Amino acid sequence: MSAEQGAGPSTSAEESDQAQAASGPPAQAPDPPPPTWAQVHEAEDRLRRALADLDNVRKRAVRERELERAAMRSQAAQTWLPVIDNLGLAIEHATGDPAALVEGLKAVYQQAGAAMAQLGYPALEAMGQPFDPTVHEAFGSVPNAEAAGTVVHVARPGYGTAEALLRPAGVIVATAPQEQ
């Protein structure tokens, strides 16, 4: 390279950089042209259609939820029909032998418990179990040193499981006798 070439005029890229630095910040791109009325109407139409689709989806979900609830109610009612039938039979035979009536009512009670279990809420076993406040509700206590902390009487049965409790068992709990 000769001295003349090195001191010669600057290249075009250098010139544009220098011109830009001298003129200030780069110019912004021009704003896009405003939309035409046809474009506005088309966008409004798309918006209306999207809102209508959303409304239809919402209505369909409500209908499906109502149908599902109706099916669940129907299934629960069908589970209880045999219990109701047998209670009717027990009432018809109430004028007969009292022992037979008691046996019939016991059978209906067992059938009702089976219906609850079929619906996912079996009777809780509470008698003789250690008191557990998550599945038992203490209705009272009685002193009993040998069985302290355990359920000694079930006043009201509980139904469900520890994960899905419908109602806690109402129980009487044994406690240690108080010293006087």
Asked whether 133 and 153 are in contact (CB, 8 A), the reply is no
pLDDT value at 4 more than 90: no
What integer pLDDT is reported at residue 31 of this predicted model? 86
Position 12 scores a pLDDT of 59
User: pLDDT digits over 70-120, tens only?
Assistant: 898 888 888 888 888 888 888 777 777 788 888 888 888 999 999 999 988
Asked if pLDDT for residue 34 goes beyond 80, the answer is yes
Q: 37-119: which CATH topology?
A: Hemagglutinin Ectodomain; Chain B (3.90.20)
CATH architecture of the domain 121-180 equals: Roll (2.30)
28: tokens are: 């912004």
Task: Give the whole-angstrom CA distance, residue 79 versus residue 71.
Answer: 12
**Coil, strand or helix at 137:** strand
Domain ranges of the chain: 37-119, 121-180
